[in-house]
Structure 1
């Protein structure tokens, strides 16, 4: 080259599109543990010459300086070289840009292999892959780049799907938790009002909105339709709770008023009976009043306690007087018991009965004194009554036996029966003699049996006649 000639300027490749660096505001909004975005084309200080040589094989420079690259089955123009005579020098910047893209894919692959990702980060990587590999202005094996970029895109999409699946699962679990909370409120409201603990239920309802807001703030966000539907159910449950509570306490006030009225009537009746000395009927009346008190509706606890104190005071006044009377009566009855024990000793001395007339007269005197002795303790009544009845039965039996023995009509009946049987025996003896004359064993046996039966009857009647005297 002569000194007058100046060297032609080396062609400058067209710059490869690169994404803008994130703004400070964007960086400030990212989580503290989020990894920094991978630069589209990280700066490379040196390039491997063997890799550069491989890349140069895909490029060409026309005589007019047009730089082209073989992109699969097509040749694509990617720039202009000012000095088309030095092909390698013209293509080298484009080869360097190709290797920068390779380095970008290497770093993208490393980032996708990281243990954690955010969907925004993965979406940005996909956008960078799309832009950088659309029609890259580089010289190299572009189909291989696209293939590798496609694999990385699929990997990024799989990760995004995984994140979406996790987010969907988390949202479903959050929906289940909030639905369970709503259902717990609805279940509380659906209970029988008489079985609700209103103090505890009221506190639950007061904490309903703060609890819901805390779940909104701390839990995974739900989609708007689902959240609105659940909130409407909560609002409806709260409205139902307020309405049922008003109705319940309104009815409770009416019930308390009715309970107070009924129990005032029972108290008035009890106080009118507290000074009665007609013990038996009044005891039964107080028992009836107690049954009515148990069946009366429940009132306000404080008022119920006050009314019960008044009712019980009247009851206690009556039963204290009755018990005092019973104690005095009990001492008297024990004295009466001693008298009747002595009378029993006299009555039992009449047995066995020797003279029924004397025994009957003595027993009548004992019975008169028995009635005069009065009441005995209830626990001893059956025992001593049974002993006296035994003596009474023995004396009565002696009287009945004597009457039967001395009754003329009885004697006449006995004598008539004896005469009839004697005549019958004579007839049956003739029948037996006739049967023996025939020699028939059956007739003989039959006649003998009939005769023996009549003789036994006659023996019984004769004993009765002897007893009658």
Structure 2
């Protein structure tokens, strides 16, 4: 579009009385009066005013093309300028400017519509973002037990919520109510959890206090076996009691360990003393075994002398006391061998001089003969049933007789 101020005479004129005209498609139109100077200066003045309007129109076009500014406001400005052309006090190519404005109206309207579409798309996206935040918040409120992680996430989500723009007020309020309700529900559930945890920890503290007091009370016990077992049980009870508040838990644990260490240190010292004593006992019993293994039931003095020596040795053995555990089997085995040797000699002598064994053999033989005689008489009398019963009885006593005779013969 030509710059009007370059050739204002092309678009208007000033008559002899100073009236200024602009040429339009409908003809000339009076736009004002110029009395302040030369007619050409007046024409140039109105032409510069046209150029100002043209420049404004071109600026609006540039903004619409670049997408800068508000299309709706640009459309209003374009329409305002167009409506003002019919009475505008300017000199220039009004027809070309009008055509330009008509094109800008279409362009601005299209930009406004595109802006509406973009705004709606942005609104839908913003609603979706806030809906996603609401869904996530409700999920955390109903299910999460990761209290710190979930709490941090909810605080982060609040910042994300504030950053989302473009949601209509009604929808935003509805979503916010759900979001706020979910946060409140999570906070209540978390508060209830920690209140329960505090109660549990208080109970655990009380129970651990009782455990510590018992541990300290039995630390002076000399009942090594039962007390050691009790400390093991107390450790199990300690673990089952749960966690007390950290400071209290640590302090109680130190007391528990201190009592336990004290007892086991005492037991260790006692066992060391006992082991030293048991070691000396083992040496004494080994010396005693050297004597015991010289006992000979067939030697001088005979069996009675051997039995007397063994009896006295057993009394001395018991008086010595305990030996280390790893030596018990060896030492007791050697003593048992001596005892069995003496006992074997006693049993052999008894079997050789047992009158009852011979009497039993004679008794069994007599019974066999008795039942055989009864069977023969019954058979002669034709009483087969009684004969068979007597024969069965004779067979049974015959087996016992054979066993008794074998036992007697082996002595």
Q: TM-score, normalised by structure 2?
A: 0.58
Residue matched to 2:153 = 204
* Aligned equivalents of 2:134, 2:337: Cα separation in 1: 82
Equivalent residue runs for 1:161-310 within 5 Å = 177-191=129-143, 195-198=145-148, 200-214=149-163, 216-217=164-165, 221=166, 227-310=172-255
* Aligned equivalents of 2:353, 2:397: Cα separation in 1: 26
Give CA deviations for 1:379-399 in whole Å, capped at 9, x if unaligned.
Answer: 333443344344434443443
Give CA deviations for 1:336-390 in whole Å, capped at 9, x if unaligned.
Answer: 2223334445445558977654443333223222212211222333443344344
Residue matched to 1:404 = 351
Deviates more, 1:311-320 or 1:170-179: 170-179
* Aligned equivalents of 2:153, 2:343: Cα separation in 1: 85
Equivalent residue runs for 1:330-341 within 5 Å = 330-341=275-286
* Aligned equivalents of 1:359, 1:168: Cα separation in 2: 119
* Aligned equivalents of 1:350, 1:176: Cα separation in 2: 104
Distance 1:366 1:235, change over 3 A: same
Deviates more, 1:387-396 or 1:319-328: 387-396
Distance 1:371 1:121, change over 3 A: same
- Match of 2:214, SS? helix
Deviation at 1:331, TM superposition (A): 1.3
* Aligned equivalents of 2:351, 2:335: Cα separation in 1: 25
Give CA deviations for 1:266-319 in whole Å, capped at 9, x if unaligned.
Answer: 333332333333433433343343333222242111121112112222222222
Distance 1:458 1:330, change over 3 A: closer
Q: Is the 8 A contact 2:297 2:345 kept in 1?
A: no
Distance 1:353 1:300, change over 3 A: farther
* Aligned equivalents of 1:352, 1:173: Cα separation in 2: 111
- Match of 2:66, SS? coil
Give structure 1 stretches of 5+ with no counterpart.
1-11, 14-20, 40-99, 112-117, 125-159, 427-452
Deviation at 1:235, TM superposition (A): 0.8
Deviation at 1:256, TM superposition (A): 3.2
Give CA deviations for 1:137-173 in whole Å, capped at 9, x if unaligned.
Answer: xxxxxxxxxxxxxxxxxxxxxxx9xx96x99888777
Does residue 396 of structure 2 align to residue 362 of structure 1? Answer: no
Q: Is the 8 A contact 1:256 1:299 kept in 2?
A: yes
Equivalent residue runs for 1:19-38 within 5 Å = 30=64, 32=66
Distance 1:300 1:423, change over 3 A: closer
Deviation at 1:237, TM superposition (A): 1.4
* Aligned equivalents of 1:172, 1:123: Cα separation in 2: 16
* Aligned equivalents of 1:363, 1:231: Cα separation in 2: 100
Q: Is the 8 A contact 2:361 2:401 kept in 1?
A: no
Give structure 2 stretches of 5+ with no counterpart.
1-24, 27-53, 79-98, 374-395
* Aligned equivalents of 2:178, 2:59: Cα separation in 1: 40
* Aligned equivalents of 1:372, 1:263: Cα separation in 2: 46
Q: Going by fraction, where is helix more abundant, 1 or 2?
A: 2
Give CA deviations for 1:198-249 in whole Å, capped at 9, x if unaligned.
Answer: 3x433323222112122x14xxx55666554443332111111222233233
Distance 1:242 1:465, change over 3 A: closer
- Match of 1:207, SS? helix
* Aligned equivalents of 2:250, 2:132: Cα separation in 1: 42
Q: TM-score, normalised by structure 1?
A: 0.52
Q: CA RMSD in A?
A: 5.1
- Match of 1:299, SS? coil
* Aligned equivalents of 1:401, 1:119: Cα separation in 2: 134
Q: Is the 8 A contact 2:64 2:111 kept in 1?
A: no
Q: Is the 8 A contact 2:364 2:398 kept in 1?
A: no
Equivalent in 328, 336, 341 of residue 381 of structure 1: 328
Equivalent residue runs for 1:343-362 within 5 Å = 343-348=288-293, 350=295, 356-362=303-309
Does residue 248 of structure 2 align to residue 317 of structure 1? Answer: no
Distance 1:174 1:351, change over 3 A: farther
